[in-house]
């Protein structure tokens, strides 16, 4: 488990992290969402022990990570612009990481290179951006670490390859002790893989939510009522997040279970009422608008 408590990091006059507190449970896929400059990369570099917090604590499995080589063997970090040795081939990097990560699976690495269609002896500097991303994921998976930190890992991958990587993550979660933390500026990329998402903005955590819980506890209903009196009474009875009106049609986003919301609206004899499915994007838009932020400006 990763526990960050009031983590603060400053570079000159720039406050990269402002008292960040998050808890990432073992065995869950945690998505860290935020625009460029929000602090995602700084948080990941701090979490893997590259940077030391100026204030606060960051523990992994109850142990500090900075200047702790033994703990760092449990973490593989894939940066947005992954470093490769000059003139290195995939086999060169395999040998490099194998010397540090005791559980590195050489046989699996070579097999995965073949499946991904990557040459083991070709110089990495001749690879495309997407090929380099694929190689970094293969190295990270085959290192067999407990934690895998991914910074914009899906950026540069085509849709088929993104789905392939997500499937690999799902298999790892099933078969071993594995906790991936995926940072991205694009919420849509993480919707179908993450269990938990934290929204980072201007160095601070704006919100942290369990995705399944979010989806079960916020819903949009489109409904029409006989008259304005019933309409106002129905709206006031809900734990309302957002309300829109298009002619006589109301679009009401409210907190609560689907059945509870529909039963509540049903007591006011609507002419028509139905639940609309909400995407993760729509849920986050509703949640952040409540606290005074427009996530469309922050993320999309």
Residue pLDDT, tens place only, 259-288 = 999 999 999 999 999 998 777 777 777 666
- Which pLDDT does position 185 carry in this prediction? 78
- Residue with the bigger pLDDT between 199 and 238: it is 238
Q: What does the pLDDT look like over 131-168, one tens digit per residue?
A: 999 999 999 999 999 999 999 887 767 788 888 888 88
The superfamily (CATH) of domain 217-298 is: Sporulation related repeat (3.30.70.1070)
Specify the CATH architecture of the domain 2-210. Answer: 3-Layer(aba) Sandwich (3.40)
Q: Return d(Cα 41, Cα 18) in angstroms, integer.
A: 14
Q: Look up residue 118 and give its two tokens.
A: 């990557």
- Which pLDDT does position 297 carry in this prediction? 54
Contact status, residue 298 vs residue 35, Cβ threshold 8 Å: yes
Domain with CATH 3.30.70.1070 in the chain: 217-298
Q: What does the pLDDT look like over 187-204, one tens digit per residue?
A: 777 777 788 888 887 777
- Which pLDDT does position 300 carry in this prediction? 47
Sheet hosting strand 272-276, strand order edge to edge: 239-246, 249-255, 218-224, 272-276
Residues in the chain: 300
pLDDT > 90: what percent of the chain? Answer: 57
Q: Return d(Cα 186, Cα 232) in angstroms, integer.
A: 37
Using alpha carbons, select from 80, 78, 106 the residue that is nearest to residue 94. 106
Q: Return d(Cα 84, Cα 78) in angstroms, integer.
A: 11
Q: Return d(Cα 293, Cα 173) in angstroms, integer.
A: 34
Domain with CATH 3.40.50.300 in the chain: 2-210
Q: What does the pLDDT look like over 52-99, one tens digit per residue?
A: 999 999 999 999 999 999 999 999 999 988 889 999 999 999 999 999
Q: Which range is least confidently modeled, 22-26, 203-207, 242-246?
A: 203-207
């Amino acid at each position: 488990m990763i526990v960050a408590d009031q983590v603060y990091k400053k570079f000159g006059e720039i406050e990269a992290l402002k008292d960040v507190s998050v808890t990432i449970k073992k065995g869950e896929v945690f998505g860290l969402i935020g625009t460029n400059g929000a602090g995602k990369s700084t948080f990941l570099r701090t979490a893997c022990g590259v940077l030391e917090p100026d204030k606060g604590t960051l523990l992994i499995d109850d142990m500090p990570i900075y200047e702790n080589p033994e703990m760092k063997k449990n973490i593989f970090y894939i940066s947005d612009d992954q470093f490769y040795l000059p003139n290195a081939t995939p086999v060169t990097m395999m040998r490099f990481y194998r010397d540090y990560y005791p559980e590195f699976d050489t046989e699996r690495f070579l097999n995965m290179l073949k499946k991904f269609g990557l040459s083991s002896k070709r110089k990495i500097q001749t690879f495309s951006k997407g090929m380099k991303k694929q190689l970094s994921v293969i190295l990270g998976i085959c290192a067999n670490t407990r934690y895998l930190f991914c910074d914009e890992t899906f950026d540069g991958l085509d849709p088929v390859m993104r789905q392939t990587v997500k499937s690999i993550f799902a298999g790892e979660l099933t078969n071993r002790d594995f906790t991936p933390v995926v940072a991205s500026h694009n919420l849509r990329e993480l919707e179908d893989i993450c269990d938990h998402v934290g929204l980072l903005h201007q160095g601070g955590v704006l919100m942290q939510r369990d995705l399944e819980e979010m989806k079960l506890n916020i819903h949009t209903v489109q409904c029409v009522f006989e008259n304005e009196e019933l309409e106002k009474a129905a709206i006031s009875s809900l734990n309302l997040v957002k309300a829109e009106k298009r002619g006589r049609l109301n679009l009401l986003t409210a907190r609560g279970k689907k059945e509870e919301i529909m039963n509540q609206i049903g007591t006011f004899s609507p002419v028509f009422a139905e639940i609309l499915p909400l995407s993760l994007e729509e849920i986050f838009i509703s949640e952040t608008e409540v606290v005074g932020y427009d996530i469309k400006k922050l993320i999309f």
